[in-house]
Structure 1
Amino acid sequence: MCQLKGLTLTDIIETLKRVELFHGMDERQLTAVAQIVEPCVYAAGDVIFEQGQDGDALYVINSGQVEVRVQNDDVTDSAVYLGDGQTVGEMALIDQAARSATIIAVDEPTTLYRLPVAAFTRLCQMQTDIGYVLMRNIAQDLSFKLRHRHSDIKRSGGSGV
């Protein structure tokens, strides 16, 4: 499924420029990231990764759409649909823990850029500025999500933190 033919480094860089996770990176940094991503194409219905699998990569959605499904106590919730310029699997870059959701391609074709944890870690060891920008952006995103989660808890009568 990975290794899309006819794709140039410039194509990948242009996609990365649209992704919030990579905001603040200059052309050199984006080029370094683009060189380690693996372009992948999936047909509608293909499972990209499953809940419970080890987190081994981040995925950037270049084109198409994916569905995020979460299994809780024998009930499957279709949480959200994500599309062009969005990412899935960010937490893998931080902790490589088990996936918290199953991701399924909705459109045909769905093109993703896979950023393997091992390659990303090596890149960050060689170019710490890239790791700094990406981790800062992940932290900002998680902070935003956590604040909204606390807001939801307060509205439902819980006691946010």
Structure 2
Amino acid sequence: MTIESEVQSLRQVSMFRDIDPAKLKLLAFTSDRLSYDKGDILFHQHEISDSTYVIVEGKVEVWLSAGNERIKVTELGEGAMVGEMGVLIDQPRSATIVAGSHVVALKIGREIFFDLLRQFPQMSLAVMRDLARRLDATNAKLLAVPR
């Protein structure tokens, strides 16, 4: 994948849509492009949150562990960002992310992510909206659990 194709992939992510292509090129250049096979783990719950991931191709599964119990919370596809919550609140990873298919992801380091949020208020708003949507979906699932 070339830098230009990575820029095009980043432009598909709602929070990056309004960012200048030159900045996206810099982001693509400073990010690590990683490839995972189905079943590979991108990161584990409770690990240090040092980066976020943008899913460029494929889908990932979000898993929570509590004691011996594992719960699949959701699946996310192309254009999704994972890992941003722990980075934002400086806490360990809140979930384990597993490749649900072949996955290509861009790994964005903590400082680069914060630089983007500072430079582009519209990106900060997009991150907040995405997190709010996920919280709303999680709340709906919790309310649907039989008591």
Assess same fold via TM > 0.5.
Answer: yes
TM-score (norm 2): 0.83
- 2:40 matched residue in structure 1: 46
| TM-align CA RMSD | 2.4
Could you tell me which runs of 5 or more consecutive residues in structure 2 were left unpaired when the two chains were aligned.
none
Change (3 A) 1:144 1:46: closer
Moved more, 32-41 or 21-30: 21-30
Aligned counterparts, 1:12-161, within 5 A? 12-108=6-102, 110-121=103-114, 123-124=115-116, 128-130=118-120, 132-147=121-136
Larger of the two Rg values belongs to structure:
1
- Residues of 1 paired with 2:16 and 2:132: CA distance? 17
C-alpha separation in 2, matches of 1:114 and 1:145? 21
Q: CA 1:11/1:114 → structure 2, altered by over 3 Å: closer, same or farther?
A: same
TM-score (norm 1): 0.76
Compared with structure 1, are the counterparts of its residues 150 and 104 closer, same or farther at alpha carbon in structure 2 (3 Å cutoff)?
Answer: closer
> For residues 114 and 145 of structure 1, do their structure 2 counterparts lie closer, same or farther at Cα, with a shift above 3 Å needed?
same
2:45 aligns to what SS in structure 1? coil
Deviation at 1:22, TM superposition (A): 1.6
Q: What is the count of residue pairs matched by the alignment?
A: 145
For residues 45 and 143 of structure 2, what CA distance do their matches in structure 1 show? 28
